[in-house]
Structure 1
Amino acid sequence: MTTSTSSHPNQLLKDEIRAEALRLGFHACGFANAAATWPNGAWLADFIAEGFHGDMGWMEETLERRSHPTAMWTDARSAVVLGMNYGPDHDPLTILGQTDRAAISVYAQGDDYHDVVKKQLKLLAGWMHQRFGQEVKVFVDTAPLMEKPLAQRAGLGWQGKHTNLVSRPFGSWLFLGSVLTTLDLPPDPPETNHCGSCRACLDICPTNAFPEPNRLDARRCISYLTIELAGPIPVEFRPVMGNRIYGCDDCLAVCPWNKFAQVSSEAKFHAREALKGPALADLARLDNPSFRALFSKSPVKRIGRDRFVRNVLYAIGNSGDVALMGVVEPLMRDPAPVVRGAAVWAARRLAAERAVALRGPEDDPEVLAEWSQILPR
């Protein structure tokens, strides 16, 4: 990260903060003027006006607070923007060829990054308050702060055509967090776009979720569908989901800048071996207690067992492995309608005639709609 050569009186304070951030385990640290003109609020308003946010109503509800970094805290003068590298030690797309196993997004293979990043942010903010006597507030992406454009302003990277942040040193694998402060710090030069004519991230998207570069229709994104959407996933997207059961790394993983994104053994984020391609059959058998145990401290836990098993069943339906009917059949009688419906779809894909013989009483309209595609007319 390039340090400004400005003669600003607080330049040395900025150097101290960066050194402390790196000591705490962050891999990137940049500075931006929190009160400067902010055009990104208009971009977000257009995104919502077009309905690209889907069922994520919280984005519309917090639109005004997202309109500018100071909309949540009018006294903020500077933003310290932090990045933590979570680049994988393997090609995350290899698992897509192992159809009996589950592809879980790299970011969700370890402890919840919100907790990991926030813990370090609080340590840095506490140190800043004690050291400089100014007010501070910390933010990760659960708060209504547009962190990616703020990170670009702070010089950490740029928003690629997939709308995620791309960093020259770390590729597309950076967790972001920010500390807003009343301390007046000289900003770093903003990063410029280095995507050029590359469109690898757009072309690989299984669901064509990018209507054009730098615009994402979340309603078509596998990450949105497997995490944010509560009901049945639209039928048109199920076959192309393959074995992706939580998130999707395709657009991130093909970024050419990832060749620089190596994580040291001292990194704060560590993937769990148990979540690097677990067997679909094992995941389908999870009940609520075993689901909570497996995904303790994991971001996966927040979608709940029912939605998770729904995703697993779509992957089983895509596997082509008739032997997996053994785990599908009990789930056709699951108490959760969203699980029963997904089980019917999976059974239809694997062994339709066998599935018909398993039909039991059903009164849920969405499950009945699944059965209507499998029963003889």
Structure 2
Amino acid sequence: MSTMFQALRFPCGKEMPNRFFLSPLTNSQSFADGSLSDDEINWLEMRAKGGFGLTMTAAAHINKDGQGFPGQLGIFSDSQLPGLKELAKKIKSHGSLAVVQLHHAGLRSPRELTGLAPVAPTPSAKFAARGLSHGEVKRLIEDFIQGAERAKSAGFDGVELHAAHNYIICQFLSSEFNQRTDEYGGSLQNRSKVLFDIITGIRKRCGAGFLLGVRLTPERHGIELAEAVATAKTLFEKKEIDFLDISAWDIYKEPADESFRGRSLLSYFTELDRGDIRLGAAGKVYTPADIKFGLDAGLDFVLMGRAAMLHHNYPSLLSANSEFVPNRVPVSRDYLLAEGLSAAFIDYVGGQWPDFISS
């Protein structure tokens, strides 16, 4: 319990009051133009007020063509700034760090949303995606950097780059989806150039005091564990980021690759020399015992998603009662409405996880 509620300081100088990150959760609550709704602001402010030390938005697309979901938050236009400014102010008023997750869906951008063929590092017949030109890759990097600048101007403490789940940065990292022959393809060093160019650009333009993190996929989605570990090692060595977020899906699991089994997936990352850079992970973190397991395994923080849907004030409840037992699914729609999820969000949850909502 004591570790869970210890403050955590990042290399940039910003500090969170505990080890609870709100995981970035797709919620379909934004307007069609990417601007924030009152429902989405309420959902996030409730988590900040409920004690989460860092409150992260859902994935926010950094250009219109990179949208991945209906009702997705956008951060590609100054017209979206009023809502973003209001959200940042409300999150920070409760002592929580305010962070935007920057995103581009790449070949996972549905044509029915954007009206265009999805784009990828190289053409993909499976996804009916076209390959980006060299100039378009440069533009993509710039769009991510401008997204971070827009987040800073809105008052957010920082951003996280979504380099996981087979979205555009993950696609560049993957030898399966990236078969380019220019400086952005071939070796892992070249395939990771988009990620590192974005990081360097954000650090240069947003400053040393801006919180900057990366979410990585450790395996699957065209990513091999050995390469994910190598990317993490380089991120730690370059010392340009403040935190690394491993999307493990299950913090207890062993690697999918049989040649790496016999120890936990997380151990391949916690054993790396990360200096002052902070490391966290997401994946089936529900109970206080799960949180303790993650921190005891060497993580600096844990990310909570579905548990945060069930209890907007999970950290506060646990702080007040060390014997706190969180609710389990299924729960009713009325229960979720009371926890700050809108009807649109609940519909999305029901479509993703049918066992989440009781009939």
Q: TM-score range, shorter-chain basis? A: under 0.3
Greater relative contact order, per chain length (Cα 8 Å cut-off, separation 6+): 1
Structure with the largest fraction of strand: 2
TM-score (norm 2): 0.25
TM-score normalised by length of structure 1: 0.24
